[in-house]
């Protein structure tokens, strides 16, 4: 079993425990995203953009693990994106956390805002990530679900232009550990926390469809 496969198994296990580990408000917020995904299941494409202020840490972790969950639970028409209220660069420790958890991630450019090529499960297409505004032309412009993963972006974007649905799921910023001995551990923990909830969302969406389909 590859390192990524082990991480995916861990995320599925953690996802199953989410209802017991989060408060009722948080669970309700996660369930709203799951129900929206389930309601879009017959659409040709389900687009979800994960948004944070600088599109450098939490939004990328959310995008990658939500995409992995979509493929794990056979939502083949679900595609994930990320963006910010401004563009900066993927923070190196966020990229490294994904690498240590088995994601194949290669830096395609050496520019100040590098492009990374991401490869998840075997047989799934690679995709590129880089820091940008959520309205960047490479992201969907209309009909997408917007998941805001930091409180600053949530406050700055009471309306996400073009979004069909908007969800607030803030996470503690791993930036608090930057430059400390705990940096690597904190980024890996935050990656798994975000991954578990993304897997719960898609797992629950699949369960909704299973119980409602004849």
Domain range 3-209, its CATH number among 3.30.470.20, 3.40.720.10, 3.50.50.60, 3.40.50.2300: 3.40.50.2300
Convert the pLDDT of each residue in 43-67 to its tens digit. Answer: 899 999 999 999 999 999 999 999 9
Average pLDDT, the chain: 94
C-alpha–C-alpha distance, residues 86 and 136, integer Å: 10
- pLDDT (0 to 100) of residue 213: 62
- pLDDT (0 to 100) of residue 153: 65
Convert the pLDDT of each residue in 153-177 to its tens digit. Answer: 667 667 799 999 999 999 999 999 9
Helices marked H in 40-89 — which ranges?
58-72
Q: Which residues contact 21 (CB under 8 A, 6 or more apart)?
A: none
Convert the pLDDT of each residue in 16-34 to its tens digit. Answer: 999 999 999 999 999 999 9
Give the DSSP per-residue string, 102-158.
Answer: T-EEEE---SSS--EEEE-STTSPPEEE---BTT-TTS--SSEEEEE-SHHHHHH-S
**DSSP element (H, E) containing 48:** strand 46-52
Is 47 strand, coil or helix? strand
Convert the pLDDT of each residue in 105-132 to its tens digit. Answer: 998 877 899 999 999 999 999 999 999 9
**pLDDT band (50, 70, 90) for residue 41:** confident
- pLDDT (0 to 100) of residue 212: 72
Q: Which residues contact 92 (CB under 8 A, 6 or more apart)?
A: none
């Amino acid at each position: 079993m590859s390192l990524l496969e082990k991480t995916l198994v861990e995320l599925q296990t953690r996802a199953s425990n989410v209802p017991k580990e989060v408060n009722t408000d948080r669970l309700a917020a996660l369930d709203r995203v799951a129900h929206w995904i389930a309601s879009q299941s017959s659409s040709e494409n389900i687009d979800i953009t994960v948004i944070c202020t600088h599109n450098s840490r939490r939004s990328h972790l959310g995008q990658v693990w939500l995409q992995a969950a979509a493929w794990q639970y056979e939502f083949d028409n679900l595609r994930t994106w990320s963006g910010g209220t401004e563009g900066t660069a993927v923070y190196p420790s966020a990229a490294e956390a994904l690498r240590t958890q088995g994601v194949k991630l290669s830096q395609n450019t050496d520019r100040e805002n590098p492009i990374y090529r991401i490869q998840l499960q075997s047989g799934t297409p690679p995709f590129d990530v880089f820091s940008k505004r959520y309205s960047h032309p490479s992201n969907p412009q209309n009909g997408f679900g917007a998941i805001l993963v930091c409180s600053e972006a949530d406050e700055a974007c009471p309306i996400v232009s073009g979004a069909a649905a908007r969800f607030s799921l803030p996470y503690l910023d791993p930036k608090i550990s930057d430059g400390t001995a705990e940096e690597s551990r904190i980024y890996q923990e935050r990656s798994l926390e975000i991954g578990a909830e993304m897997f719960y969302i898609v797992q629950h969406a699949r369960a909704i469809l299973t119980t409602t389909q004849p």
